[in-house]
Amino acid sequence: MVATSNTELQSALDRAKSYIIDMDGVIYRGDLCLPHVPEFLQALDDRGVPYLMATNNSTKSPQEFADKLDAMGIDLGADRILTSSVATRGMVEERYPRGTGVCVVGMKALHEAMFSDGYFEPAGREASVVVSGGHFELTYAELRTACLAIRDGAVWFATNGDNTFPTEEGIIPGSGAIIAALNAATNQSPVVVGKPSTGMIDEALQSLGTTNEETVMLGDRLDTDILAGERAGLLTMLVMTGVTDLAELESMDITPDIIINDLSPLVDYYSRLG
């Protein structure tokens, strides 16, 4: 498998001041922690390099992800995990005042992100904003209400555009499938926050307090992680421990700045810094 040369990698990492890190396929696969992850994160912590986990998955809260990582032996606070639900909440809050009515089509984690602090008000057809995300218990009634709200003029946001969602049973409909249903019924398209859109990247950079030129987007998917980083002007780094294989890498027009087989070169780089 072709990886970036050590010289090119070192030159790129010398410019890196922070990381936005995808989770599934980079940090873990299912419930299995991937190789070199604890050493890499410890190296960043030891050298004061800020990083933030960023996932398109809107079905779990940051605390639920933190608990999952803790079970793998990775101690990471929920405040260092940015989900597409949290990023969507941040984007909507930037645009709408307290008390705005929001219709949510999504799981408990998305409802918590939008309503837990009382800033927004749960609403139905009269909502000013509709927010949709992955939803494993979707009902026709929820689609109908969101459809009517959008047709009445509500602005529509979607946590991410992923058409499918991987589970132990197989591939199932994701947030993008719900977007397709509402699009068919309304002829409207949402503001998509998650990768490959740059909304989540913008939220992450605000949290990190760093600029795009000095931030690495580390991910395993060309069409989400790497494309989002490319669009936002970040240094893009593809790790081949997730869904991307060599055939896809050669066939797609998306080209990462850096390609690594696993995280060991990053561990080696930061170890040499002392």
Q: Closest Cα partner for 101 from 121, 119, 74?
A: 121
Tokens of 5: 């040369």
> Is 22 annotated as catalytic?
yes
The single-letter code of the amino acid at 225 is D
170 has pLDDT over 90: no
What average pLDDT does the segment 38-44 reach? 96
Confidence of residue 243 (pLDDT cuts 50, 70, 90): confident
Q: Residue 274's pLDDT band (boundaries 50, 70, 90)? A: low
Q: Which domains does the chain have, with CATH numbers?
A: 6-56+196-272 (3.40.50.1000), 87-192 (3.40.50.1000)
Mean pLDDT confidence for 34-59: 95
**pLDDT confidence of residue 136:** 95
70-117 tens-digit pLDDT: 999 999 999 999 999 999 999 999 999 999 999 999 999 999 999 999
1 pLDDT exceeds 70?
A: no
Hey, what are 126's tokens? 């009269």
The share of the chain scoring above pLDDT 90, in percent, equals 84
* CA–CA distance, 62 with 66 (Å, rounded to integer): 6
Residue 24 falls in the annotated catalytic set: yes
Give dist(CA 51, CA 54) in Å, integer: 10
Burial class (CB in 10 A: 0-12, 13-18, 19+), 101: middle
Stretch 254-265: mean pLDDT: 95
- In this structure, of 43-47, 167-171, 197-201, the range with the lowest mean pLDDT score is 167-171
β-bridge partners, 171: 166
Average pLDDT over residues 130-145: 98
Farthest-apart Cα atoms in the chain, separation: 60
Percent of the chain beyond pLDDT 70? Answer: 99
For residues 161 and 132, the answer to whether their CB atoms sit within 8 Å is no
Of 22, 162, 225, 257, which one is the catalytic site residue?
22
pLDDT of residue 173: 94
Please check whether residue 136 is in contact with residue 130, taking contact to mean a CB–CB distance below 8 angstroms.
no
pTM (two decimals): 0.90
The pLDDT of residue 227 is 97
**pLDDT score, position 202:** 93
- β-strands 170-173, 164-167 pairing: antiparallel
Find the range with the poorest average confidence among 117-121, 177-181, 202-206.
202-206
Mean pLDDT of 118-129: 98
The model's confidence at residue 167, banded by pLDDT at 50, 70 and 90, is: confident
